[in-house]
Each structure stands twice: as structure tokens, then as C-alpha cells.
Amino acid sequence: MAYTLPKLLYDYGSLEPHIDARTMEIHYTKHHQAYIDNLNKALSTASPQLQDKPLEELLKSLDSLPESVRTAIRNNGGGHLNHSMFWLMMSKNGGSLPNGAGVTAAIKQKFGSFPALQEQFNAAAKTVFGSGWAWLVIGKDGNLAIMTTPNQDAPISQGHAPILGLDVWEHAYYLQYQNRRPDYITAWWNVVNWEYVEDQYRLLAGKI
């Protein structure tokens, strides 16, 4: 079955002034759609067995995929999965502090405080070379960790469970922030959907 663009749960302008409507529209309808189109094309040339597998399963077992489609699935499958999560990680009612007991306790245990988490996450996001992502994940040891991935690589391909991620490709912010990635990173915290983060933490914490 071909992949399709997931429904955006808010209007393009809902995240303003932190993320502008035009960037959201282009990011969602052009960039995300392109990953989906390319993923479907790659899978259509692969064996039927690959087309029937869940995307997460494909990305967790990249080394076992045919070399002819491995890179396309890694890049475009990762792009589709990463963006599908990214839209849910933001909300017009987002921001402020974590409001879930589970992730709040986990942040305090690992980082000492939420400001300490922010400082380390921001530093990671700022120093991604070129295009990529910064993530808060549940690591293989079951504890929270901050990591970065290049391009559209997905944390699950490395055995980590992402609960929060920030797209730092230039197409995610350049119309509004130009080359000021640090300003974009700071603004993004105002739209983080902490309810989603808490739900993902509770869902995934016991599966590592």
C-alpha cells in the first residue's frame, strides 16, 4: 500500500509567530510530500515483501534490505517517518514546561532540570553540520539521551526511541530566520507539544 501525507492537525499559521505559515505550508506540502513520493517509487521497484512491511520495521533493519533500494528507503523512509512525528511534536497550545509526570521525572533524573536539558539540546541542534535533526530519545539503556542524526536518518535505525525532535534543515526555518538557526531553535520551544511527548514516553519507555 502506498504511503500518503498524514493529515496536519492544525492550520499552517497556527504556530506563528514562532514558525510562519508559508514555511509550514512549503515544508509540509512540498518537502514531506517529496519524501513520500520517492519512498513509494523506491518500494514499487522492490520486492512485494518489502512493500508489505511497516516502515518502522524497514528502518530498523536497513542492513538487511537490498542494496538497490537501501539508500532510498533510508533517506525517504526516514524523511517520511521523521516528519510525521515532527508535526505531532508541535502544537499551537505548546511550549512552557513539560506537563507530564513521567517525562518530567525522567528529565530531572537524567539532566537535573529542564533548563539543563534545554541547554544541552540547543547545543546539539546548533552544531548539527549541514542538514539533520536533534532528538530527545529513550536510549538502548532505557534512559533519556540527546542525539543528532544527519540528513533524514531515523533514531530507530540505531535502536533508539525518539520522543521529541527538531528539524534543523534550512527548509524548516530559512524563510523566517534566514541563517539564524539559534533563533529558530529558541523559538521552537514555544510550540513543543508536551502532551505528545508524555504520551510517547509512556508508550515507548517499556519497550526498550
User: Does one domain contain both 108 and 81?
Assistant: no
Q: In whole angstroms, give the CA distance from residue 44 to residue 58.
A: 14
Q: In whole angstroms, give the CA distance from residue 141 to residue 136.
A: 14
2 domain residue, yes or no: no
Q: How many separate domains does the chain show?
A: 2
User: Does one domain contain both 120 and 62?
Assistant: no
Of the residues 64, 88, 112, which one is the last residue of a structural domain?
Answer: 88
36 domain residue, yes or no: yes
| pLDDT tens-digit map of 93-150 | 998 889 889 999 999 999 999 999 999 999 999 999 999 999 999 998 999 999 999 9
Of the residues 88, 116, 138, which one is the last residue of a structural domain?
Answer: 88
User: Does one domain contain both 178 and 120?
Assistant: yes
Check: CB of residue 132 under 8 Å from CB of residue 155: no
37 domain residue, yes or no: yes
**In which domain, by residue range, is 53 found?**
20-88
Of the residues 34, 57, 88, which one is the last residue of a structural domain?
Answer: 88
Write down the pTM of the prediction: 0.95
For 145-171, letters b (16+ CB in 10 Å) and e give bbbbbeebbbbbbeebbbbbbbbbbee
CATH number of the domain enclosing 159: 3.55.40.20
* CA dihedral (135, 176, 8, 105) positive or negative: positive
Task: Annotate the chain with three-state secondary structure.
Answer: CCCCCCCCCCCHHHHCCCCCHHHHHHHHHHHHHHHHHHHHHHHHCCCHHHHCCCHHHHHHCHHHCCHHHHHHHHHHHHHHHHHHHHHHCECCCCCCCCCCHHHHHHHHHHHCCHHHHHHHHHHHHHCCCCCEEEEEEECCCCCEEEEEEECCCCHHHHCCEEEEEEECCHHHCHHHHCCCHHHHHHHHHHHECHHHHHHHHHHHHHHC
3 domain residue, yes or no: no
- CB neighbours of residue 52 within 10 Å: 10
64 domain residue, yes or no: yes
| pLDDT tens-digit map of 171-198 | 999 999 999 999 999 999 999 999 999 9
| pLDDT tens-digit map of 47-96 | 778 888 899 999 999 999 999 999 999 999 999 999 999 999 999 999 88
